[in-house]
Structure 1
């Protein structure tokens, strides 16, 4: 029986990490809405829409609106990926997002946003060089609801904060065991500021705390399994520059502390607690985006985003099934005014193919590329 539990733990180590599988900076999305995606994630200093409540709530105070704004949309993710040359059978995923902002006075702007930030799953018939050894099927979702505010302290400084209310679900299936879909809740917070030393420059900064999640618990015929998967703290700084009317350039640097939550993870089994040594490293992300208003009704965007994979060759054997290895991303975006108060936005992002091969001699290899299309509708007055 002890040997069986050992095999279960090994299988879990091979499969569980595929759950936080495919956003694009590690397991984090580049943005929430089409406007943010179009700037390749460079949106800390110059907010694009009400979804800034999820990324830098201080940006609410800088939004282009008089009293109210609504931004809603969805994304379609296509992530062709392989583990040891085996394709996953699940290739399309829906990512909803939305946010509202209300300005009761010139100083204060209230907001609330909701978005899926990571997850969905994989479906590999076989993940090992030796055929028939290990199939993996996972489903994971991570959603965040964030009520918050932005406050204009003076003409140059705005501050903001948001409460993060988190929902996470996870299911796992291998030939050795099945852990059904289960869900947990958690909390965190996001703090931010924007500062304008002059009309052409804006400096932005935001900090999202570690999202403290409840423990997953699965009741099976063999007993109870348990695990906690927190989301990492994130610190971002950005500089936005407006060299002329209608042109915006922003560059952001983001630090994602994956080592706080995905270096070692405790896994509880009926036989005791084992440790998953996933070994994820912290990730530093560089993003640059350009936005140009080509006429009174049309704005275009383009951006580039790069962050080294948090999974290195030394960690591949502990992350079979993980898809969080993309590094370079190119994005395009467009906003078109449809009426006096109604706008629509579209973005396309491509994460270039990247693969990581184990340096242990096992031959294990994980690889991924991605295509993401986002559509957004915006209403403001």
Structure 2
């Protein structure tokens, strides 16, 4: 199989597989790429995790043996998300209601080639996202005054990364690497805001434009406003955009048993996500739908710096540790929405507050080669909380921050290996009692399980 064919297959697989999207666990980012990294707590900065290393530290590609290697695989993620109305005690769980939601599947595919001191690679990975589905009959679909809107509350974000990576072993001790990444992201969103939320946005200067007086003219009949930018199809997102990113990385072999690593991932440069949308005014006299065009503006993935160390304890045992700083504060201050009515009534610009904090993540991993055929792995991952309770949305519950993982590699033949990982995100609970991101006070609980399976073939 030619390199060109493998690249085409990898990208096609990622685009097709991305329709059932993975729930991210470090806010919108997955907690590791490839089953080796995922099984070891997401560590990947200073040890060989196979072709998936191009997603964290491209310099690790030089740790692989000479020759070519192809990898295909997928993540299967099941989530347990519950939202409780703290005033009434009503609860709703995120569940499967349509083609857009879970169980979530994310693809992984890559090809690498090493010739002497030079290594190259290309891949296609789901970098992260989120997904919820609350249906249209819960308290989240009730506007102010308990008025049932019959409208959906749901979300699905997919971020796809296509890295073109290279590394160079400059000396026996020093290796440098980098990647240029094509990126695509798509979003489906159904969100109901009560009138109190709309008025709070207007009063704080977060909702402006010609449609503001149109909505104001519906008072006091207006009970809520609902945005829908969802394509309920197997292959589609309501809004999407392309862009690019990149990484730089290095490895330093301090001793024959000790390797140090560092990498820096640049903030993404994504175009605005654009598409069709419907703004529905929920009134006591019924729903009034306004069709138009929508943009989610300047929605970026954050820069982050990663430092790692791997230590061999004999010929069979490896321990690893990474520490990361993710700069969410720079990219997730507000979700910026621009809606323009097709019929010329005007537009509305909304700034939905997020005010995320920068996040620190500690990852720990270990691997033990039991025999020539079987290697066992385990890991832990601890992250600080990037979300603020005062800006939590029920449809964006990206709160988990503690993980336990385990996995293995089974050698099928000299060329073929099968990697498996299981990761559990422990339940995280967060409250929000503040306008404008919720009307009733809510409590959101979120846990999940993740299984990753990769097949690697060397030739």
Match of 1:287 among 343, 363, 382: 363
Is the deviation greater in 279-288 or in 217-226? 217-226
Q: Following superposition of structure 1 onto structure 2, how do residues 36-75 of structure 1 map, counting pairs within 5 Å?
A: 36-63=37-64, 65-75=65-75
Scaled by the length of structure 2, the TM-score of the pair is 0.74
Match of 1:178 among 228, 235, 240: 228
2:274 and 2:124 map into 1 onto residues whose CA distance is: 25
Contact 1:127–1:136 under 8 Å retained in 2:
no
Aligned residue number for residue 429 of structure 2: 355
Deviation at 1:127, TM superposition (A): 5.3
Aligned residue number for residue 7 of structure 1: none
Match of 1:337 among 411, 423, 438: 411
Deviation at 1:217, TM superposition (A): 2.1
Deviation at 1:267, TM superposition (A): 1.7
Aligned residue number for residue 133 of structure 2: 123
> In the superposition, relative to structure 1, how do residues 127 and 107 fare at CA in structure 2: closer, same or farther (>3 Å)?
farther
* CA deviation profile, 1:233-286 (whole Å, cap 9, x unmatched): 111000111121111101100111111111223221333423121121111000
> In the superposition, relative to structure 1, how do residues 367 and 21 fare at CA in structure 2: closer, same or farther (>3 Å)?
farther
Size of the aligned set, in residue pairs, is: 358
Q: Following superposition of structure 1 onto structure 2, how do residues 314-329 of structure 1 map, counting pairs within 5 Å?
A: 314-316=390-392, 319-329=393-403
1:95 paired to 2:118: no
1:137 paired to 2:207: no
Question: Secondary structure, in 3 states, of the residue corresponding to 1:59?
Answer: helix
Aligned residue number for residue 337 of structure 2: 267
Deviation at 1:359, TM superposition (A): 5.2
2:313 and 2:106 map into 1 onto residues whose CA distance is: 34
Pick 1 or 2: higher relative contact order, CA cutoff 8 A, min separation 6. 1
Aligned residue number for residue 31 of structure 1: 32
Aligned residue number for residue 11 of structure 1: none
Deviation at 1:224, TM superposition (A): 2.8
Aligned residue number for residue 12 of structure 1: none
Contact 1:127–1:321 under 8 Å retained in 2:
no
Match of 2:247 among 185, 190, 212: 190
Question: Secondary structure, in 3 states, of the residue corresponding to 1:53?
Answer: helix
Aligned residue number for residue 443 of structure 2: 365
Deviation at 1:172, TM superposition (A): 2.0
Structure 2: 5+ residue stretches without partners = 1-20, 85-90, 97-101, 193-225, 231-237, 278-289, 341-346
1:152 and 1:280 map into 2 onto residues whose CA distance is: 38
1:294 and 1:223 map into 2 onto residues whose CA distance is: 60
1:241 and 1:252 map into 2 onto residues whose CA distance is: 12
Deviation at 1:216, TM superposition (A): 1.6
Deviation at 1:71, TM superposition (A): 1.8
Contact 1:284–1:308 under 8 Å retained in 2:
yes
Contact 2:130–2:398 under 8 Å retained in 1:
no
Question: Secondary structure, in 3 states, of the residue corresponding to 1:79?
Answer: strand
1:141 and 1:313 map into 2 onto residues whose CA distance is: 23
* CA deviation profile, 1:79-113 (whole Å, cap 9, x unmatched): 11122231012341111101111013x11001112
* CA deviation profile, 1:30-53 (whole Å, cap 9, x unmatched): 112111111111111112101111
* CA deviation profile, 1:272-316 (whole Å, cap 9, x unmatched): 423121121111000000011011111000000011221132323
Aligned residue number for residue 205 of structure 1: 262
RMSD: 2.0
Is the deviation greater in 150-159 or in 122-131? 122-131
Contact 1:310–1:324 under 8 Å retained in 2:
no
Contact 1:83–1:127 under 8 Å retained in 2:
no
Aligned residue number for residue 15 of structure 1: none
